[in-house]
Structure 1
Amino acid sequence: MCEMAKEKSKSEIITALIDHNVFKMPDGRQFYEASENELKSILYTHSDIKHIC
Structure 2
Amino acid sequence: MCEAIKDTFTTKAEIISALLNQNVFKMPDGRQFYEASEKELEHILYSKTTEDHYC
Fold agreement, TM-score > 0.5: yes
Deviates further, 26-35 or 4-13: 4-13
Which consecutive unaligned segments of at least 5 residues does structure 1 have? none
Quote the residue 1:25 is aligned against.
27
Q: 2:30 & 2:21 partners in 1: Cα distance?
A: 18
TM-score (structure 1 length as normaliser): 0.80
**SS of residue matched to 2:29:** coil
TM-score (structure 2 length as normaliser): 0.77
Task: Give the number of the structure whose residues are more often helix, by fraction.
Answer: 2
Structure 1 runs of 4+ aligned residues shifted over 3 Å read none
Quote the residue 2:16 is aligned against.
14
Q: Deviations over 1:16-35 (max 9, x none)?
A: 00000000000000000000
